[in-house]
Amino acid sequence: MAFEAAGYGGNQVSNLLVIFTGGTIGSKSGAGAISVREAGSYAIIEGYQSGPRYRESVQLECVQPLNILSENVVPDDWNVLIETIRSADLSRYDGIIVTHGSDTLAYSAAMLSYIFCDSPIPIVLVASNYPLGDPRSNGLRNFTSAVEFIDGEKLKGIYVVYENSAGEAIVYLGTRVTQAVSFTDQLECPYDVHYGIMSEGKLIVNEHPYNPSPQELRSREPAPSPFTAGKDKLQSGLLYVKPFSGMTYDYFDFGQKAPKAVVHDLFHSGTANTSASERHSLLAFAKYCAEHSVDLYLCPLKDSSETLYASSVALQQAGVSFIENMSVDAALMKLTLAYSLFTDKQQIREFVMNTPLFYEFVASR
């Protein structure tokens, strides 16, 4: 795997907006539980400014529109965060850091990637595996690496910086980071292709065919954001289903209240149960969704042009929609955005399947 060192200045003053939302990185331990407290968020600024990697050329301005654990984030909270960023005069800043809990970091990173796909400055999300007062915490190092990333690279777009178990500060594109893994607290990414590593204050880019170059990111001129400030609002409306052996679909009942759409996860090879027994068959569930006018999307699938298993072919022949070359996390957020913005089903499908916003289609840049 090849790597490229990227440098882009760093001597002049950089003005960064820090947006606190809570999460473990802004929490403290006490009374047998981890909870968010206002003082916890600002402790990371004190830690950074007193640390060995502090840069006097970096000026930090802080706001705290939210103070919640990230497992409690709902669309209304995203709307607050979006409005906070939209209301800022981005011409005054060289970048934005959003402190966030690790539990739902991947969802927020993808959502911000879509809504701020036209951002002229980098927006970087950071989190922590433990509260800052815990010696095992990587939160302060993640924040410091994010400062160095923005100060040195000036790459447009949305990113996540998070230290792995080997002590490497990994940089992810905002639509290409997946949920933290239980037991290890590690973030992952599709195909295990991260964007780069921060080393000694500089970005070492992972020169992989799936990754855009730093030059491409700096010069990119994306289409305008699909989300209109002051007009659009994110809304709930999706049901997410993760299959397992023996899953029974007849527990679902859309008679009283149906979702706008169902996102159905797949096993790693792009498969699901299509057996003759209807109560266990995704084919039968697809028919049930159609009868109730509920859109059904299957994800992830690497590439439908490759040879597929018989179960996947059967689902294709039944007309079920596969979302290809996109993580489930990114697909869930793009569908949430689509169903918040549009009502026409064909427009929603076109937006999700064929409208790239910020590198969410991993293997087809």
Measured between alpha carbons, how far is 105 from 111 in angstroms, rounded to an integer? 10
Q: Which tokens in the block code for residue 93?
A: 């800043």
Measured between alpha carbons, how far is 309 from 296 in angstroms, rounded to an integer? 20
- Placement of tokens 């969802």 in the chain: 107
Q: Which tokens in the block code for residue 118?
A: 């036209």
How many angstroms from the chain centroid is the CA of residue 42? 24
How many angstroms from the chain centroid is the CA of residue 345? 24
Measured between alpha carbons, how far is 297 from 319 in angstroms, rounded to an integer? 10
Measured between alpha carbons, how far is 145 from 171 in angstroms, rounded to an integer? 9
Residue 251 carries which DSSP code? G
CA distances to 78, 179, 229, 334 from 75, in Å: 5, 18, 15, 13
Residue 245 identity: S
Catalytic hit among 24, 84, 144, 336: 24
3 state SS of 309? coil
Angle formed at CA 32 by CA 30 and CA 34, multiple of 5 degrees:
60
3 state SS of 24? helix
Residue 361 carries which DSSP code? S
- Which residues partner with 299 through β-bridges? 265
- Whether 104 sits among the annotated catalytic residues: the reply is no
Q: Tell me which residues are annotated as active site.
A: 24
